Structure 1
Amino acid sequence: MNEPLIVRDESVTTRTTTTARRADVISREGSRRPGRLRQPAGLPWILPAVIVAVGLLYYCIGYTGYISTLRWDGASPLQQPVGADNFVRMVGDAVFWRALRNTAAFFVVTLVVQVVLGMVLACLLHSELRLKTLHKVLIFIPVVLATATTAPVFRQMYAPDGTVNGVLDAVGLGALAQPWLANGTFALLIVMSVQIWQATGITFILYYAAVGQIDTGVLEAARLDGAGNLRIIRSIVWPGVRGTTIAIAILTAIGSLKTFDIPFLITGGGPNYATEFLGTMIYRVSVSFSQVGYGAAISVVLLVLAVATAITIKVSSAEKDPADV
């Protein structure tokens, strides 16, 4: 009596399997038909961000490019088209070239020092160091401090009657005391040191995470082979964090081109434009001198330099495909 039931169950199972296979074939054929595009599942979620980016960001970029072709004070209804005159003026502006040199020097110095400090601190905190959490907090605190609150402190430190000169007098080196911010070379170095102090925490965090991704088995094998700490860092750790270094270089380059708050609040771009950067020059030209068209032209150049620098660093640092070697 049970045999017919078994036969019917098998036939049902066979029909169900056949139907599923046919549906799968039809589904595959339908997906291969030309002209039928499937809407991305996440499009409704990213659409608001796309609208904001295209409607606000790129509109502002385009409008800035339009203003760069005008002679305008930013408030008057009179806008005089001048074509590329603002860019021609920029080429002959000695202050612009000095700001560009300061920006390049700022990028090189801050990048090198931040990479060295961040790497050393990351390696130390991956070792058998005590109170690691406390050290991490102390390293990262400058990152969360607003420049507007720390800049007056540095101005007081390097003032003629400030802390630095007071310490020099106390240790018998009063002859070295001077108005540090009135010296162009020292003023630029002070601005660089403040940036390094503030940004090293970010570099440290990135390197700390990157070092943590390196296979500990490789490190242990190197130690068993007799490699010391410096050899391990040079031959294993440093190549292992290469991608992080490239990212830090790109972020530092773009940040250097946009630098404004530190030199503006500590030195105001002086003395004699010694700490003038592209960001401070755009503000001074556009706001202080009411030459919005010229300031917009400098902004366009800054954008082009930022994009070109990021692409150059990425391309020049790209690893070769093993198949091409």
Structure 2
Amino acid sequence: MMSAIAPPSGVRARHRRRFSPASYLYLLPALILVVGIVHVGIAANIGYSTLDWNGISATAVPVGLANYATMLTDPVFWTSLGNTALFAVATIGLQMVFGFLLAVLVRTRAALRGLLRTLAFVPVVLAPAVVATSFRILLTPDGGFNRMLSALPFADIDQAWLADPRTALGTIILINVWQYTGYSFLIYDAALGQVDGSVLEASRIDGASTGQVLRHIVAPLLSGSHLVLIVLGTISALKTFDIVYLTTAGGPGNTTQVLTGYIYKQAIGQFHAGYGAALSIALCVLAMIFAVLQVRLSSREAR
């Protein structure tokens, strides 16, 4: 059996110097920022969640786990959690499908490829406040979208898309899909560039149709991209606030209320800081579950 060859002493010395304690000083600014804002903030929020406090007064009444018990019996909490889950499933699914198909289109069309990539990604870089305000104006009963539909034969539409409980949440989902499909497209476009062309050529020679190639060969090869988009999309959906708040503010009623919006409403709008803190801890737990899931699944995928 061959013995391991020891590296030269100079290499060992350089390796030791690379991991000297002084090198960790460079991590202090980021460490202080993360620990001081994120972790200390979470710890403080846990403490606030055990108080009956309006967030302003100097006195607060300790209530233990009463805020959490209230949360479990709060119908608006469960409505907002259900809306968040529906929002996550719908947006992630539609963005993945449209992003994948758009990436395939760009990869199979040589003409105007650069222009298509640019146009697909432009909505992603737009500020959510701009997107929400623009769509709120376009989707009023006398807005541009209804006027465009009314120009079609046999159509006279004055639908209030964001004010109707039947269409409000679906409309917000489609707005989000319009804005962030370009991100899914970017991930899939990069992944398709790594697919071995000989595999696709062999499948076409064997008589596979385009749909069969995409469904049985290309899609399984992009499993890592699917996983990344699902996990990151879920975490992003849990944090969704601006697009909902700036279009419907959770209304009409609570039909579009999401968890982050309900936290804002309780803590800022109604001065229930203790209960808002308990809601935010529940959101943090859900986000951490999916963060751990991402790390574990990513590690398994790498192996």
Pairwise same-fold verdict (TM > 0.5): yes
Going from structure 1 to structure 2, the CA distance change for 1:44 and 1:221 (only over 3 Å counts) comes to farther
Residue in 2 that maps onto 1:251: 232
1:283-322 equivalent positions in 2, closer than 5 A:
283-312=264-293
Once residues 22 and 146 of structure 1 are traced to their aligned partners in structure 2, the CA distance between those partners, rounded to angstroms, is 55
Amino acid of the structure 1 residue aligned with 2:158 = A
Asked whether 1:127 is paired with 2:96, we answer no
> Is the radius of gyration larger for structure 1 or structure 2?
1
Going from structure 1 to structure 2, the CA distance change for 1:110 and 1:225 (only over 3 Å counts) comes to same
Residue in 2 that maps onto 1:238: 219
Once residues 228 and 108 of structure 1 are traced to their aligned partners in structure 2, the CA distance between those partners, rounded to angstroms, is 29
1:158-237 equivalent positions in 2, closer than 5 A:
158-174=139-155, 176-237=157-218
Tell me by how many angstroms 1:24 deviates: 5.0
Once residues 261 and 307 of structure 1 are traced to their aligned partners in structure 2, the CA distance between those partners, rounded to angstroms, is 21
Going from structure 1 to structure 2, the CA distance change for 1:321 and 1:26 (only over 3 Å counts) comes to closer
Sequence identity, in percent? 39
**Does the 8 A contact of 1:249 with 1:313 survive in 2?**
no
Deviations 1:112-153, CA, capped at 9 Å, x for gaps = 101101111111111133101111111011001111112122
Q: Report which stretch shifted further, 308-317 or 242-251.
A: 308-317
Going from structure 1 to structure 2, the CA distance change for 1:22 and 1:143 (only over 3 Å counts) comes to closer
Say which SS state the counterpart of residue 252 (structure 2) adopts: coil
Say which SS state the counterpart of residue 20 (structure 2) adopts: coil
**Does the 8 A contact of 2:142 with 2:158 survive in 1?**
no
Q: TM-score, normalised by structure 2?
A: 0.88
Tell me by how many angstroms 1:27 deviates: 9.2
Once residues 41 and 242 of structure 1 are traced to their aligned partners in structure 2, the CA distance between those partners, rounded to angstroms, is 41
**Does the 8 A contact of 2:228 with 2:294 survive in 1?**
no
Say which SS state the counterpart of residue 171 (structure 1) adopts: coil
Counterpart selection for 1:277 from 221, 236, 258: 258
Residue in 1 that maps onto 2:51: 70
Going from structure 1 to structure 2, the CA distance change for 1:155 and 1:39 (only over 3 Å counts) comes to same
1:4-15 equivalent positions in 2, closer than 5 A:
none
Q: Report which stretch shifted further, 279-288 or 168-177.
A: 168-177
Counterpart selection for 1:112 from 72, 78, 93: 93
**Does the 8 A contact of 1:165 with 1:174 survive in 2?**
no
Long gaps (5+) in structure 2: none
Counterpart selection for 2:117 from 107, 125, 136: 136
Q: TM-score, normalised by structure 1?
A: 0.83
Residue in 2 that maps onto 1:13: none
Going from structure 1 to structure 2, the CA distance change for 1:27 and 1:288 (only over 3 Å counts) comes to closer
Deviations 1:168-211, CA, capped at 9 Å, x for gaps = 33324455432222211200011101110111111100111111
Counterpart selection for 1:147 from 113, 121, 128: 128
Residue in 2 that maps onto 1:10: none
How many corresponding residue pairs?
Answer: 297
Counterpart selection for 1:97 from 78, 81, 88: 78
- CA RMSD in angstroms, aligned pairs only: 2.9
**Does the 8 A contact of 2:224 with 2:301 survive in 1?**
no
**Does the 8 A contact of 1:253 with 1:310 survive in 2?**
no
Tell me by how many angstroms 1:26 deviates: 11
